[in-house]
Amino acid sequence: MARELSLVSSVDSASMMLLFHTFSKQLMLCNGLLSSHRRVLDIKRTLDENLERSRREYEAARRRARRRYVRLRALALCTRLLHLHGLERRVWRRDRPHGEVFWSNVLANFDDEQWVDHFRMSRSTFEFLLGLVETKLRRKSTRWRKALEPRRRLAIVLWWYATPSEYRTISCLFGVGLSTVCTLVRQVTSALNTVILKQFITLPEGEILQNTLRGFAGRGYPMCAGAINVTHIPISSPRENPSAYFNNKKWHSIILQAVVDHNMCFTDIYVGYPGRTSNARLLASSPLYKKAEEQDGYLFPRECLSEVKMGRGSPIPPMLRRKIVEQYQKGVSQRKIAKSLKLSSSTVHNIIQRFRESGTISVRKGQGRKTILDARDLQALRWHCITYRNATVMEITTWAQEYFRKTLSVSTIHRAIRRCRLKRYRSKKKPYLNMIQKRRRFLWAKAHLKWTVAKWKTVLWSDESKFEVLLGKLGRHVIRTKEDKDNPSCYQRSVQKPASLMVWGCMSAYGMGSLHIWKGTINAERSYDTDQSTPLYNSLPVTYTDQDALTVNGVEIPVHLIGSAAYPLKKWLMKGFTDEHSLTPEQRHFNSQLNSACTVAENAFGRLKGRWRCLLKRNDVDVAFMPDIVTACCILHNVCEMNKEDFLPEWTADADEVLQQPDTDLYRDTVMDGTRAIRDTMVTIV
């Protein structure tokens, strides 16, 4: 009985398992059918939506085409009616022959003085500027009218920049339309700002930064890379929010913030803020402030002076080319290679393309006509020029034809001498040393042979030079390199002449002293008295770190800017002491030297507005476009200053007769101890 029950229970369990599996399979089949049905419904819904979208798009396109057709029919009907019942246009383009005559007279008869007076630059500088933006200004002539040449376009806009003339006056003068003058101002301004802005307005780096530091040190303030200040540009009352542009002198303006170097050139500009904005707020909103704060208070990176950047067109070193190819073979993208090696993407692409084509990383050799003189000939020519430094180019050409047995011209020898890194200079006049003087110099050099660099930087160097008032003959020329300027064979013997002045100056590792003019007889006692009176006589022990920061008594002084009391005191921006009643004599002297160095910014603004007088009046120009005009004028100012263009005195008189600049408020805020220590240390240096 028990066995039968166990058999029945086993049969029941087996049947139950079979039924369960069968039910599971049927359930899975039903689930699959349901999911398939849902997918079919989704596909159908998607197809219906796409079909409906296509129908709507088709209907919308049909309606647009219908509306366009109706408009064209209406336009054609109106044109037909006007043609039947209207008057024909008498003038399509006005002939202005007087403009062509005036422009031809400018090109043919204007001398250098007239060019400077009307265009604020000489003809050579005008052609130089034209070469930079000519491609951007060129327009294509059509069958309807001939396009203005780029030279005339640039001249029209420069005339408008330089004179307070209206558009109508320029239009009548150059024989172009009123709207054409307005369009040309926008086109030329845009071309200047897009093509040459970064070329002429950029913060100094490398050797340019070193020259700027030396320039401000000569003005009595070391470790300075520029002076920052603002000026207000008058504008017409804007339609939107005019009260924001109304400054405290009761006229509407926008503000130009600029950093100026020792040569009165702009190295950074920020323009466009309303005239009611304070100097500190304007500075905090500028990219200059953000850049300095992102670099931990160093506007000029600490490694900026130790880097040597390759110039335009310089070949990439083989080691760097090898790194580019190695990273390319590892699968690194060209953009990442360029970013990691601080190169342009086009340079990396060209090197990789060269490697793909030839399998090498060498620079492709140039093609063209072979030079008539090879390397051995140039070496012989260099030896002859150094041996006979006073020979003329004609004499060298005669010798070269006989020595090389080749037909050579004077211009060929000129080019060959330049290829030898030689140049003709006017030889210096200097008395020769006698044996006693040579012996004394030798003993002095032997006694200081073991001095270290740090010890040499504590020395005050001084020298004097004699300037002749009555010049004699101009002297003779000598062929030499730049490095051979102190070579004894490059001097010519001179004798003492009457009517001369002696100028004495001194310098140290961290600054330059003032110049002293000696009149009369100079002896050792008088020279010593002058040495005692110079501010740099008691020099401080100084050391340099990373070639761009001065360390004095344990305080590191970075390269910084200087500004007025309206700015905050930062590690990268120094200003004077504001409490005039409790200043020490040293602090007063520091304020005096800093303010004296800051005058370069005021002088630069005066020259900017005096040269480009469109910035002196309220121009009938859109407020949104006025910052572009100011930027273009700053670029042109730098072009003129870098090319040593004359600045006439009457231009300054015109600039002085303008609206008075608004007053600036003192900036008072908490000063960090580190920043205060830097300024206190600068007091001891200055």
**pLDDT higher than threshold 60 for residue 91:** no
- Whether the Cβ atoms of residue 536 and residue 508 lie closer than 8 Å to each other: yes
pLDDT value of position 92:
55
- Between CA 399 and CA 342 the distance in angstroms is 49
Select the highest-mean-pLDDT range: 304-318, 489-503, 551-565.
Answer: 551-565
**Bridge partners of residue 512, in order along the sequence:** 507
- Between CA 349 and CA 147 the distance in angstroms is 38
Cα 482 off chain centre by: 27
Indicate the SS3 state at residue 509: coil
pLDDT value of position 306:
37
pLDDT-derived band at 676, boundaries 50, 70, 90? confident
pLDDT value of position 638:
93
Select the highest-mean-pLDDT range: 12-21, 61-70, 77-86, 554-563.
Answer: 61-70
Across all residues in the chain, what is the average pLDDT?
A: 80
212 half-sphere exposure, CB direction, 13 A CA radius: 27
pLDDT-derived band at 318, boundaries 50, 70, 90? low
Residue entry with tokens 């004097």: 464
What's the predicted TM-score (pTM) here? 0.57
- Better-predicted residue by pLDDT, 638 or 2: 638
pLDDT value of position 530:
59
**pLDDT higher than threshold 90 for residue 260:** yes
Show the CA angle centred on residue 23, arms to residues 22 and 27, nearest 5°: 120
- Better-predicted residue by pLDDT, 591 or 145: 591
pLDDT value of position 230:
93
pLDDT-derived band at 129, boundaries 50, 70, 90? very high
Q: Is the dihedral of CA 441, 443, 444, 446 positive or negative?
A: positive
For residue range 27-73, list pLDDT tens digits in order. Answer: 888 888 888 888 888 888 888 888 998 999 999 999 999 999 999 99
Question: Which string of DSSP letters, residue by residue, matches 337-400?
Answer: HHHHHT--HHHHHHHHHHHHHHS--SPPPP-SPPPSS-HHHHHHHHHHHHHTTT--HHHHHHHH
- Whether the Cβ atoms of residue 212 and residue 225 lie closer than 8 Å to each other: yes
pLDDT value of position 26:
82
**pLDDT higher than threshold 80 for residue 538:** no
Lowest-confidence region among 79-88, 132-141, 319-328, 619-628? 79-88
Tokens of 676: 């205060």
Span 22-28, mean pLDDT? 81
- Whether the Cβ atoms of residue 176 and residue 148 lie closer than 8 Å to each other: yes
Span 226-252, mean pLDDT? 89
For residue range 371-393, list pLDDT tens digits in order. Answer: 788 878 888 888 888 888 888 88
Span 544-570, mean pLDDT? 75
pLDDT-derived band at 505, boundaries 50, 70, 90? confident
Share of residues in the chain with pLDDT > 90 (%): 17
- Better-predicted residue by pLDDT, 625 or 544: 625
pLDDT value of position 302:
59
- Between CA 536 and CA 685 the distance in angstroms is 9
110 half-sphere exposure, CB direction, 13 A CA radius: 21
Span 3-21, mean pLDDT? 66
On the 0-12 / 13-18 / 19+ scale of CB atoms within 10 A, 99 is: middle
pLDDT-derived band at 407, boundaries 50, 70, 90? confident
pLDDT-derived band at 554, boundaries 50, 70, 90? confident
For residue range 346-363, list pLDDT tens digits in order. Answer: 788 888 887 877 777 665
CA-atom Rg of the chain in angstroms: 39
* Residue boundaries of the structural domains of the chain: 97-195, 202-306+587-623+640-656, 318-358, 375-421, 435-442+451-533
Tokens of 113: 């003085």
Indicate the SS3 state at residue 196: coil
Tokens of 312: 């335009």
For residue range 601-644, list pLDDT tens digits in order. Answer: 999 999 999 999 888 888 778 889 999 999 999 999 999 998 88
**Which CB contacts under 8 angstroms, 24+ apart, belong to 369-375?**
372/406, 372/408, 372/412, 373/404, 373/406, 373/408, 373/412, 373/416
pLDDT value of position 1:
55
pLDDT value of position 631:
95
- Between CA 410 and CA 490 the distance in angstroms is 23
pLDDT value of position 479:
75
- Between CA 405 and CA 213 the distance in angstroms is 52
- Better-predicted residue by pLDDT, 96 or 182: 182
For residue range 262-303, list pLDDT tens digits in order. Answer: 999 999 999 989 988 888 899 999 999 998 888 877 888 654
Span 16-27, mean pLDDT? 80
